[in-house]
Amino acid sequence: MTIHNFPAALETKSAGENDDASLAEVKTALAGLTDDIAAKLKPVADIEKRIGALEAKAALPSLGGKKDEEPSVEKKAFGTYLRLGNQAPADEIKVLTVSSDPQGGYLAPTEMSTEFIRELVEFSPIRTLATVRTTVAPAVSYPKRTGITNAKWKGETQAQEGSEPAFGQVEIPIREVNTYVDVSNQLLADSGGTAEAEVRLALAEDFGQKEGLAFVSGNGVLEPEGLMTAGGVGETLNGHATNLSADQLIALMYAMPAAYRSRGSWLMNGGTLATLRTMKDGQGNYLWQPSYQAGQPEMILGRPVVEAVDMPDVASGTFPVLFGDFATAYRIVDRLALSILVNPYIRATEGITRIHATRRTGAAVVQAAALRKLKMSVS
């Protein structure tokens, strides 16, 4: 800042000086000082003006209802990639590259990459129907009575005859289903835990699907014994290879002992259920009745119907419908719930973490008389 020296007349006056001339000099000096101060304060005023404009802009909502913001480098690069694909500038593609893994590629900005698109996984809900228990043993044996005593009517002096009920046992061995998944360490780190959670969810869905399928049609060798493959389950013939018979469904239901019939449920897939919804009995009444109360199942011939995706379709020689008291007939024994072991060492030099998953469970039909299935004719 330039400092103007005031004339000596401001301090003292020499005799004979002209007062008007001295006053003019003082005014000139003050005007110069004022101009210097204004010049120095001008940048400050410009800054204040810019700050005010920014504050006004920040307070003004955009047309989308959100405040305007400068997009990040990643968002700009992702937008360019969406428009131009691999023709986008190399420096912008580099911003999106997170791994050189062949199954990697380009990762979208965080707002999109945190949401995973999944296929819907359907399960057969056998666990909700059967009796389920846990064990710490490799197998569970159920004592089974296979006969009753043989009492006879006797006269007053006739001797009694002895009899013994017959017994046996049903053994349910524990089976194991397992797999492992390899995931790159970079993906685990860059996804912020989302990738590992998705792997665990995928394993749980896969195991649940495999378990549900085994409970319906398992071979009893490496898999649990399924409802449809167990021996001793009664059959009712449908009488046609592809068309369901309403009369034979009624016959199937009443071929079962009343104790099991009164607690029975129908089991079939969605395609079979769709066909049954259009069927009527001899009096023109629909076999299917809708649920009139939330939480209550649909009914066929007055008994609940459960949809199981793994049940067979209506076709020549198949068994598309199963009816019975599942809680009495089928046992599921769990030895080990879904166990997940993360092993970061076995492929550590390759930057890979291996995730192991194991499930141990067993199942079998313990009372075949409580089930009955409908068999389609062979064309």
pLDDT digits (tens, 9 = 90+) for 224-271: 999 999 988 999 999 898 899 989 999 999 999 999 999 999 999 999
Task: State how beta strands 131-134 and 330-347 pair.
Answer: parallel
Given a cut of 50, whether residue 336 has pLDDT beyond it is: yes
pLDDT at 88: 64
Band the pLDDT of 36: cuts 50, 70, 90.
confident
One DSSP character per residue, 29-81 reads: HHHHHHHHHHHHHHHHHHHHHHHHHHHHHHHS--TTSS---PPPHHHHHHHHH
339, 352, 72: which is closest to 189 by C-alpha? 352
pLDDT at 264: 94
pLDDT at 21: 64
User: In DSSP terms, which residues pair with 322 in a beta bridge?
Assistant: 267, 373
DSSP 8: G
141, 159, 134, 150: which is closest to 335 by C-alpha? 134
The residue with tokens 């017994």 is 167
Distance, CA of 331 to CA of 280 (rounded, Å): 34
Mean pLDDT of the chain: 79
Q: Which comes out higher in pLDDT, residue 164 or 270?
A: 270
Band the pLDDT of 161: cuts 50, 70, 90.
confident
Which tens digits make up the pLDDT trace of 110-156?
A: 554 555 556 666 778 899 999 999 888 888 888 887 788 888 898 88
State the virtual CA torsion across 320, 324, 328, 333 in degrees, nearest 10: 10
Which structural domains are found in the chain, ordered by start? Answer: 73-113 (no CATH), 125-149+165-379 (3.30.2400.10)
Amino acid found at 189: A
379, 18, 368, 353: which is closest to 189 by C-alpha? 353
Contact between 364 and 172 under an 8 Å Cβ cutoff? The reply is yes
Which tens digits make up the pLDDT trace of 292-323?
A: 777 778 899 889 999 999 999 999 999 999 99
User: In DSSP terms, which residues pair with 332 in a beta bridge?
Assistant: 132, 363
Enter the tokens of residue 148: 């009753």
140, 137, 203: which is closest to 355 by C-alpha? 203
Distance, CA of 233 to CA of 287 (rounded, Å): 24
Contact between 223 and 175 under an 8 Å Cβ cutoff? The reply is yes
Contact between 376 and 318 under an 8 Å Cβ cutoff? The reply is yes
Distance, CA of 56 to CA of 58 (rounded, Å): 5
